Amino acid sequence: MSIVLLADYRAMLREAQSVELDAVLQSHLDAAELEASKFVGFDIAVEFDPNPVPTDIKVAIMFLGQTMSDQMPPEESNIRRARAESLLRPYRRETGIAA
Protein backbone atom coordinates (compact mmCIF):
# COMPACT_ATOMS: atom_id res chain seq x y z
CA MET A 1 0.00 0.00 0.00
CA SER A 2 1.55 3.25 -1.04
CA ILE A 3 -1.05 5.72 -2.22
CA VAL A 4 0.43 8.41 0.04
CA LEU A 5 4.19 8.71 0.30
CA LEU A 6 5.61 8.57 3.81
CA ALA A 7 7.52 11.81 3.13
CA ASP A 8 4.27 13.61 2.22
CA TYR A 9 2.58 12.25 5.33
CA ARG A 10 5.49 13.38 7.51
CA ALA A 11 5.24 16.87 5.99
CA MET A 12 1.52 17.02 6.78
CA LEU A 13 2.21 15.93 10.36
CA ARG A 14 5.12 18.39 10.54
CA GLU A 15 7.17 15.42 11.70
CA ALA A 16 10.95 15.73 11.81
CA GLN A 17 12.77 13.46 9.39
CA SER A 18 13.80 10.54 11.56
CA VAL A 19 13.79 6.88 10.62
CA GLU A 20 12.90 5.93 14.21
CA LEU A 21 9.19 6.44 13.58
CA ASP A 22 9.05 5.27 9.96
CA ALA A 23 7.59 1.84 10.71
CA VAL A 24 4.92 3.23 13.03
CA LEU A 25 3.92 6.05 10.70
CA GLN A 26 3.84 3.70 7.71
CA SER A 27 1.58 1.28 9.60
CA HIS A 28 -0.80 4.15 10.42
CA LEU A 29 -0.79 5.21 6.78
CA ASP A 30 -1.45 1.63 5.62
CA ALA A 31 -4.33 1.26 8.10
CA ALA A 32 -5.78 4.59 6.97
CA GLU A 33 -5.63 3.51 3.33
CA LEU A 34 -7.41 0.26 4.18
CA GLU A 35 -10.05 2.17 6.15
CA ALA A 36 -10.58 4.57 3.23
CA SER A 37 -10.93 1.67 0.79
CA LYS A 38 -13.51 0.02 3.03
CA PHE A 39 -15.43 3.27 3.31
CA VAL A 40 -15.65 3.82 -0.46
CA GLY A 41 -16.32 0.15 -1.15
CA PHE A 42 -13.38 -0.62 -3.45
CA ASP A 43 -9.60 -0.92 -3.40
CA ILE A 44 -8.46 2.62 -4.12
CA ALA A 45 -4.99 1.64 -5.36
CA VAL A 46 -6.42 -0.89 -7.83
CA GLU A 47 -9.27 1.35 -8.99
CA PHE A 48 -7.08 4.26 -10.03
CA ASP A 49 -4.15 2.24 -11.39
CA PRO A 50 -2.47 3.37 -13.68
CA ASN A 51 -4.02 6.82 -13.20
CA PRO A 52 -2.99 8.97 -10.23
CA VAL A 53 -5.19 8.81 -7.15
CA PRO A 54 -7.13 12.08 -6.78
CA THR A 55 -5.65 14.54 -4.30
CA ASP A 56 -8.78 14.67 -2.15
CA ILE A 57 -8.55 10.92 -1.55
CA LYS A 58 -4.88 11.26 -0.56
CA VAL A 59 -5.74 14.05 1.87
CA ALA A 60 -8.55 11.94 3.36
CA ILE A 61 -6.11 9.08 3.91
CA MET A 62 -3.70 11.44 5.64
CA PHE A 63 -6.50 12.79 7.87
CA LEU A 64 -7.41 9.21 8.85
CA GLY A 65 -3.79 8.39 9.50
CA GLN A 66 -3.42 11.50 11.61
CA THR A 67 -6.17 10.31 13.94
CA MET A 68 -3.92 7.33 14.68
CA SER A 69 -0.54 9.10 14.75
CA ASP A 70 -1.25 12.28 16.70
CA GLN A 71 -2.32 12.46 20.30
CA MET A 72 -5.41 14.63 20.23
CA PRO A 73 -8.67 14.95 22.14
CA PRO A 74 -11.42 12.61 20.90
CA GLU A 75 -13.43 15.60 19.65
CA GLU A 76 -10.61 16.72 17.37
CA SER A 77 -10.07 13.17 16.14
CA ASN A 78 -13.78 12.91 15.30
CA ILE A 79 -13.64 16.19 13.38
CA ARG A 80 -10.73 14.94 11.26
CA ARG A 81 -12.42 11.59 10.68
CA ALA A 82 -15.62 13.36 9.59
CA ARG A 83 -13.63 15.59 7.24
CA ALA A 84 -11.96 12.53 5.73
CA GLU A 85 -15.34 10.87 5.20
CA SER A 86 -16.73 14.00 3.54
CA LEU A 87 -13.80 13.97 1.10
CA LEU A 88 -14.34 10.26 0.37
CA ARG A 89 -18.14 10.32 0.15
CA PRO A 90 -18.34 11.38 -3.54
CA TYR A 91 -16.36 8.25 -4.46
CA ARG A 92 -18.41 5.88 -2.32
CA ARG A 93 -20.15 3.00 -4.00
CA GLU A 94 -23.21 1.20 -2.78
CA THR A 95 -21.98 -0.90 0.10
CA GLY A 96 -25.30 -2.45 1.05
CA ILE A 97 -25.19 -0.65 4.38
CA ALA A 98 -27.13 2.51 5.13
CA ALA A 99 -24.74 5.42 5.56
Alpha carbons 80 and 66: distance in angstroms, whole number: 8
pLDDT value at residue 99: 54
Alpha carbons 22 and 36: distance in angstroms, whole number: 21
Q: Is the pLDDT of residue 98 over 70?
A: no
Stretch (H or E) spanning 86: helix 74-88
Q: Over the stretch 18-76, which tens digit does the pLDDT of each residue have?
A: 777 888 899 999 999 999 999 999 999 999 988 999 999 999 999 999 999 888 889 99
Q: Where are the domains of the chain?
A: 6-91
pLDDT value at residue 15: 66
Q: Over the stretch 32-44, which tens digit does the pLDDT of each residue have?
A: 999 999 999 999 9
What does the pLDDT average to over 85-94? Answer: 94
